[in-house]
């Protein structure tokens, strides 16, 4: 019987773990005639754990996790720093609407005890984060910006919350969202208006506006949000931070507090995701958030990194339709982003992407008609006047579909996805605008139905269209115009978030982190 060869497996270390090597004892090459006691070599003084510069609330999630892991800072100190920052700036922003300070500090103390015992540490052990108040947080009402939802108490954490906690993240607060998370502007009768930390006269975006405002201002290293028509990417643009709207199915989603199952196409077009000041933090949060949860039947166990395209990677700078009036500041930002990519080794060409107008109209028709049938009556019954105005504007551009037309629209979606997938064979990344206009005021969608149509169709067409395709889209800040941030969108093929984030990181490397400039202006 042949002997079995036993192969010793080695555990792959996390990028956050530092390998510590113990120096071997030097052996003497000479033998002494008279035996003498061996002289002990002086012990090398252990280097003090590295502590990043500045206050802990200013650190990235990657830096914070590494500092806690190494012992340079305790989880309690990290959380206390973020809570102090929250107390300092949140009263004027109204970004965090549920203060979880007490339980956050208790969790931080537990995290430090776990580290002291030598327990296994998650990728975000002790790292402060925020959660958007439209996913289930155990024991709390899932208000979703609606006072009438006070009885929708979550019996368990949503998958994204559970995954963050399992990785050791500490939730310090819940962030604001508009009613039913249906507006692109963050205001509701329950918690009120959330302001943009750069300028109170422009919107913080929506529906993850509270998340974007909080993380830009230094409240939490990572902010959770979600996106069905731009609700991660639009706030990232408005607040000067980075994000990724993942491929549908990448991050599991489910709310046990919901009174009914979500409609199919709404589920297929929606995605959970992170907002952060650093692209590396977005990447780390994506890894943590995307762990399996059996409650989501659409979750896909796709790898986070795919095969690298043959270089140089070709980037399509999307041609903007002639009916979209592009502001010079946006055109300049797109050119600047293209130049940064070129200098980083990419090859950028201005190219017309597949039927962006038809894609957007398909998104608008599907989501509007599905909402009218499944949710509209119950929403309008308890919603504010501003919600009625905003929703009326969204409906104005949609075609009313009967059943045959609905089936044709859902079939058309398949054709659009196929066309874009074939396009990515030649251009693995698309560089596109988030909006073609300067950021509007904080309640501009409540002005008129016509203004809502202008915003969604005429200004942020390239954002909302991507949801119906289920594609990943990153946003990264590029420039400031008159003191207000401008971001660009980087779109990649299905489950190729890595390509979108690689391009975003290349831009960030040359632009820097805009939030650092913001903090200089905040008293």
What residues are labeled active site?
132, 207, 231
Pairwise CA distance, residues 401 & 365, whole Å = 8
Token reading at 273 = 């995701």
| Alpha helical stretches, state H, 74-207 | 75-93, 101-116, 159-166
Closest CA to 289 of 183, 373, 166: 166
β-pair partners for 405: none
Task: Give Cβ neighbours of residue 256 (< 8 Å, ≥ 6 apart).
Answer: 136, 154, 155, 156, 158, 295
Backbone phi, psi, residue 243, to 5°: -160, 170
CB 428 within 8 A of CB 306: no
> Cα 401 to the chain's mean position, in Å?
33
Backbone phi, psi, residue 432, to 5°: -140, 160
Strand, coil or helix: 356: helix
**DSSP letters of 43-79?**
PPPPPPPP--SS-GGGS-HHHHHHHHHHTSS-HHHHH
Specify the pairing of strand 128-132 against strand 170-175: parallel
β-pair partners for 433: 488
Strand, coil or helix: 222: strand
Give the H/E segment covering residue 243: strand 242-245
Closest CA to 216 of 236, 230, 191: 236
SS3 content of the chain, % helix, strand, coil (to 5): 40, 15, 45
DSSP state of 153: B
């Amino acid at each position: 019987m042949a002997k079995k060869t036993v192969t010793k497996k080695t555990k792959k270390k996390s990028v956050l773990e530092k390998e510590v090597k113990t120096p071997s004892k030097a052996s003497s090459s000479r033998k002494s005639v008279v035996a003498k006691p061996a002289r002990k070599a002086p012990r090398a003084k252990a280097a003090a754990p590295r502590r990043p510069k500045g206050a802990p609330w200013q650190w990235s999630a990657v830096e914070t996790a590494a500092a806690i892991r190494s012992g340079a800072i305790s989880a309690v100190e990290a959380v206390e720093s973020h809570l102090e920052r929250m107390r300092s700036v949140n009263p004027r922003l109204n970004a965090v609407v549920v203060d979880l300070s007490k339980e956050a500090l208790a969790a931080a103390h537990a995290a430090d005890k776990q580290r002291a015992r030598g327990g296994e540490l998650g990728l975000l052990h002790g790292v402060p984060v925020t959660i958007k108040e439209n996913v289930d947080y155990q024991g709390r009402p899932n208000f979703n910006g609606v006072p009438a939802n006070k009885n929708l108490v979550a019996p368990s954490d949503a998958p994204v919350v559970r995954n963050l906690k399992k990785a050791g993240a500490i939730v310090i607060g819940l962030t604001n969202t508009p009613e039913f998370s249906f507006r692109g502007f963050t205001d509701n009768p329950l918690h009120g208006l959330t302001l943009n930390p750069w300028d109170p006269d422009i919107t913080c975006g929506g529906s993850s506006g509270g998340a974007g405002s909080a993380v830009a201002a230094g409240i939490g290293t990572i902010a959770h949000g979600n996106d069905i028509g731009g609700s991660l990417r639009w706030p990232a643009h408005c607040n000067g931070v980075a994000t990724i709207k993942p491929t549908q199915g990448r991050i599991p989603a489910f709310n046990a507090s919901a009174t009914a199952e979500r409609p199919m196409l709404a589920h297929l077009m929606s995605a959970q995701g992170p907002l952060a000041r650093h692209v590396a933090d977005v990447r780390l949060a994506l890894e943590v958030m995307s762990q399996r949860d059996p409650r989501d039947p659409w979750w896909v166990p796709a790898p986070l990194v795919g095969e690298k395209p043959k270089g140089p990677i070709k980037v399509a700078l999307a041609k903007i339709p002639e009916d979209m009036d592009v502001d010079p500041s946006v055109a300049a930002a797109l050119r600047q982003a293209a130049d940064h990519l070129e200098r980083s080794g990419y090859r950028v060409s201005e190219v017309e992407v597949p039927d962006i107008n038809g894609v957007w109209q398909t998104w608008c028709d599907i989501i509007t008609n599905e909402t009218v049938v499944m949710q509209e009556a119950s929403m309008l019954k308890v919603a504010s006047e501003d919600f009625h105005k905003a929703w009326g504007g969204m409906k104005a551009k949609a075609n009313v579909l009967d059943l045959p037309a609905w089936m044709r629209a859902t079939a058309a979606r398949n054709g659009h996805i196929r066309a874009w997938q074939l396009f990515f064979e030649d251009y693995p990344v698309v560089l596109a605008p988030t909006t073609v206009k300067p950021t509007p005021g904080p309640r501009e969608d409540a002005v008129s139905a016509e203004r809502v149509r202008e915003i969604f169709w005429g200004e942020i067409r390239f954002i909302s269209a991507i949801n119906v395709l289920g594609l990943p889209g990153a946003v990264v800040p590029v420039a400031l115009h008159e003191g207000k941030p401008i971001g660009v969108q980087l779109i990649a093929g299905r489950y190729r978030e890595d390509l979108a984030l690689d391009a975003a990181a290349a831009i960030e490397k040359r632009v820097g982190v805009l939030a650092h400039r913001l903090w200089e202006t905040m008293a």
